[in-house]
Amino acid sequence: MRLSDNIKCSLVSWITKISIWKFFLLLLAVSFVIFLVQSVLPVFSDSHDLHRLAGEELALNGRGKIPSCVSCHGLQGQGDAKIASPRLAGLHPSYIKKQLEDYARDPLKTRAFVEPIARDYVKTPRTYGDLTVFTPGTRYDPKMNGLAKLLSAEDRHNLAIYYSKLAFVASPKAYDFETLERGEDLALRGKPEYGLPSCDSCHGPGGQGFGAIFPPLAGQPVTYIIAQINKWQAGKRDNDHLALMRNIADQLTDGDKVNVAAYYDNLSYSVNSE
Amino acid sequence: MKRILLKWVFIFSFYHVAVLPVAAQELGQTLDSLEVRPSLVNSRLSLPTQLTQVHVISPGEYFAPPLVADIPDDRFGDMVRMGRNIFIKTGVYAKRYAGNGLNCSSCHLQEGRKPHGIPLWAAYGRYPMYRHKTRTVVTLEERIQDCFIYSMNGIAPTLDAPEMKALVTYTKWLSKGAPVGVDLPGRGLPNISRTQDLDPKRGKIVYETRCELCHGKDGKGQKHTNGEGYMFPPLWGRDSYNKGSGLQRVRTLAKFIKGNMPLGASFSLTNQESLDVAIYIWLQDRPRNPKMSQAMDFFFPNMAR
């Protein structure tokens, strides 16, 4: 009580004593100093860097039973088309983290079973219920499942930050004209007469990804893109928000997958590099 | 007394220098944990017994417009290309006429091609036609002017403006082979009926579970990463359509949502859910109807027209 009174009195008497201009000048000077110090501060205490370095260590060398990520995802995190392993460099950190969490989740615990789509799915009426809307969030893959279970939350965080900061430059490959033309039509316009939106309307212009939820398609190996769509159709991947991608994958034919993957492989694209 | 003052200056600057940046960094760095994923936190809206059967489209059911790759390489083709550019990037190619962040293709989905997404190919053969809104017979050009004034919250290009010619040319090219004077299947928006009274509270839940992911927490949409135009268009606020637009009618908006939203899952909401979320969107603030006076807008903010 006494202390606060004291402060109040002194402040009031002081403000009345000096002119208002001097007061503003002082305020200006103080905020300038704050600004200066603030702009220098991050250089000294960057915890971001610590996470990144820890992630790098784990990615390059592995730890205990955890194999190094580079053996499958490439030294620069550029992916490997031969084993359908995706590029990780430059993906959004939250996206990487979410995928690792989904790999580690036990499918039985979510108590949900996703029925694979029927072979002649064009003729099968799709039924939307709650299970298709509120996704359980599991992703099945023999290589990644066991590995992801060994990672701690801290590891996932570090790895996510490390890979999101890596630079990547795509090397566009040549395809025949017809494939590219069909792929482009699907990527930019979808199939309106079937109500299928374009890939770019979610995956960003040029398939470069948008935010934490929509991953990039440009720069992903062709085999990986096709494999993922197959997994959605077979019910082995069911971790997308609001089943957004599942609705799309259910409607793609085998030709569509090849065309659209080729189109994205043909685009030039770079991330994190000047 | 000086000492006390100094103390406060010190505390103030310490807070700014040491506490705020660290807190901000922490915030920026924390990654979403699984529990904040909208698909998992929110309670279920309906029992699994209330299923919606989605109509599966068989080949040839709807009119298929020509491919963009087939635009002819002549003067006519140039006009078509210009019209298409205006249609999908209105803010860039018709900047002086557009008043908000939308494009024509935000509502006329997939470049004006999607059945039940107000497709252009179904509109071309219907005009000139009688409209209740104006109580006159309107031509296609006049209909497009209306979309500029209300849906784009801008100014209408004159009937002989190059932009208008380009848009009409694009519409004509899209409807190559479509019959004239008949209502094609997939025209305009789908029909829906209501069974219960509308409830914006239920609509808010639908919005938060099914739409927020793309259209944003505040309904203001999400801009492209390079800051130009919208990736996901705003549903309300300064950059959205104004109160004179067709979508400001709850029923029309509900029809639009039923037939087109969430993106890629058309017809997945029930009629009631679309109407609820439509009235929730209707209640939000947006630019006023340019044909209505300021005072009317102030006293009756939600009167459509």
Q: For B146-187, what is each residue's pLDDT tens digit?
A: 999 999 999 999 999 999 999 999 999 999 988 888 888 889
* Chain A interface test: which of B6, B11, B30, B37 (most A C-beta within 10 Å): B37
| Inter-chain CB proximity A130 and B111 less than 8 Å | no
For an interface test with B, give the residue of A12, A113, A128 to mutate (most B CBs within 10 A): A128
Contact between chains at B39 and A134 (C-beta distance less than 8 A): yes
Count Cβ–Cβ pairs < 8 Å, chain A vs chain B.
162
pLDDT given at position A140: 85
Q: Select the residue from B25, B32, B39 to test the A interface by mutation, using most A Cβ atoms within 10 A.
A: B39
Q: Name the closest residue on chain B to residue A96, using Cα atoms.
A: B31
With DSSP H G I counted as helix, E B as strand and the rest as coil, what are the percentages for chain B, rounded to 5? 45, 5, 50
pLDDT of residue B305: 44
Residue among A151, A142, A162, A166 nearest A85 (CA) = A142
Domain span at residue B144? 68-174
Quick one: B280 and B239 in the same domain? yes
**pLDDT over 50 at A85, yes or no:** yes
- Whether residue A75 is contained in a domain is answered as no
Task: Please indicate, yes or no, whether residues B79 and B146 belong to a single structural domain of this protein.
Answer: yes
Query: B47: nearest CA in chain A?
Result: A130
Q: Tell if the CB–CB gap between B4 and A6 is shorter than 8 Å.
A: yes
Mean pLDDT over A90-94 rounds to 91
Query: Which of B111, B139, B174 is the C-terminal boundary of a domain?
Result: B174
| Residue pair B7/A3 in contact by the 8 Å Cβ criterion | no
Assess whether B282 and B134 both reside in one domain.
no
Residue A63 has φ and ψ, to the nearest 5°, of -155, 130
Angle in degrees, CA B106, B110, B116, rounded to 5 = 85
N-to-C CA span, chain A = 59
Query: Average pLDDT in the A196-225 region?
Result: 92
- Domain boundary residue, one of B174, B205, B220: B174
The answer to whether the CB atoms of A242 and B1 lie below 8 A apart is no
More confident residue, A91 or A131: A91
Containing domain of residue A240, as a range?
A: 171-274
Same domain assignment for residues B217 and B280: yes
When pLDDT is averaged across residues B216-237 and rounded to a whole number, the result is 89
Length of chain A: 274
Smallest CA–CA separation between B16 and chain A, in Å? 7
Position with higher pLDDT, B266 vs B30: B266
**How far A82 CA sits from the closest chain B CA (Å)?**
31
Residue A130 pLDDT: 39
Cα A68–Cα A71–Cα A72 angle in degrees, nearest 5 = 110
Per-residue pLDDT band for A252 (boundaries 50, 70, 90) equals confident
Note whether B126 and B36 are same-domain residues: no
8 Å CB contact of A134 and B40: yes
Domain count, chain A: 1
CATH number of residue A191's parent domain? 1.10.760.10
The answer for residues whose C-beta is within 8 angstroms of residue A169's C-beta and 6 or more apart is A269, A270, A273
Asked whether residue B33 carries a pLDDT value surpassing 60, the answer given is no
Residue B239 lies in a domain: yes
Note whether B53 contacts A192, CB cutoff 8 Å: no
**Residue among A256, A264, A266 nearest A232 (CA):** A256
Q: What is the pLDDT of residues B178-213, one digit of tens each?
A: 888 888 888 989 988 877 788 888 888 888 888 888
pTM attached to this predicted model: 0.84
CA distances from B299 to B233, B292, B293, B295, B296 (A): 28, 11, 10, 6, 5
Within-domain flag for A250: yes
Residue A107: band (very low, low, confident or very high) from pLDDT cuts 50, 70, 90: low
> Is residue B209 in some structural domain?
yes
Three-state SS at B51: coil
The answer to whether residues B262 and B229 belong to one domain is: yes
Which residues does chain A have within 8 Å of residue B52's beta carbon, measured at their own beta carbons? Answer: 127-128
Q: Which residues contact B115 (CB under 8 A, 6 or more apart)?
A: A192, A193, A195, B62, B63, B122, B185, B186, B187
In a domain, residue A36? The reply is no
In a domain, A9, yes or no: no
Nearest CB neighbour to B53, from listed A98, A125, A205: A125
More confident residue, A140 or B55: A140
A202 is a domain residue: yes
Q: How far is B1 from chain A (nearest CA, A)?
A: 6
**Chain B residues close to A130, C-beta within 8 Å:** 44-48
Question: pLDDT tens digit string along A23-71?
Answer: 778 778 888 877 776 666 555 445 678 888 888 888 888 888 889 999 9
Report the number of distinct structural domains present in chain B: 2
Question: B109 and B156: one domain?
Answer: yes
Query: How close A3 gets to chain B, by Cα (Å)?
Result: 11
The partner residues of A127 in beta bridges, in order of sequence, read B53
Instruction: Tell me how far apart the alpha carbons of residues B68 and A221 are, in angstroms, rounded to a whole number.
Output: 27
Give the relative orientation of helices A254-265 and A222-234 as an angle to the nearest 10 degrees.
150
Q: How far is B202 from chain A (nearest CA, A)?
A: 16
- Own/partner contacts of A55-63, CB < 8 Å, gap of 24 or more, are A55/A155, A55/A158, A55/A159, A55/A160, A55/A161, A55/A162, A55/A163, A56/A162, A58/A155, A58/A158, A58/A159, A58/A162, A59/A159, A59/A162, A59/A163
Among residues B231, B264, B188, the alpha carbon closest in space to that of A191 is found at B264
The pLDDT, as a whole number, for residue B161 is 92
Nearest residue, CB atoms, A101 vs list B1, B34, B268: B34
**Residue A51 belongs to a domain:** no
**Does B3 fall in a domain?**
no
Per-residue pLDDT at A38: 64
pLDDT of residue A123: 40
- Buried/exposed A143-163: b ≥16 CB within 10 Å, e otherwise: ebbebbeebeeebbbbbbbbb
* Mean pLDDT, range B77-88, rounded to an integer: 94
Q: Which of B1, B17, B225 sits opposite A38 (nearest CB)?
A: B17
CATH value at residue B209: 1.10.760.10
Residue-averaged pLDDT of chain B: 81
Do B232 and B278 sit in the same domain of this protein?
A: yes
In a domain, A101, yes or no: no
Q: Does residue B181 fall inside a structural domain?
A: no
Residue A143 contacts residue A92 (beta carbons within 8 Å): no
- More confident: B288 or A9: B288
User: How many Å lie between the alpha carbon of B194 and the closest alpha carbon of chain A?
Assistant: 20
In a domain, B12, yes or no: no
| pLDDT (average), residues B13-32 | 46
Give the residue on A whose Cα is nearest the Cα of B29. Answer: A48
A118 in a domain, yes or no? no
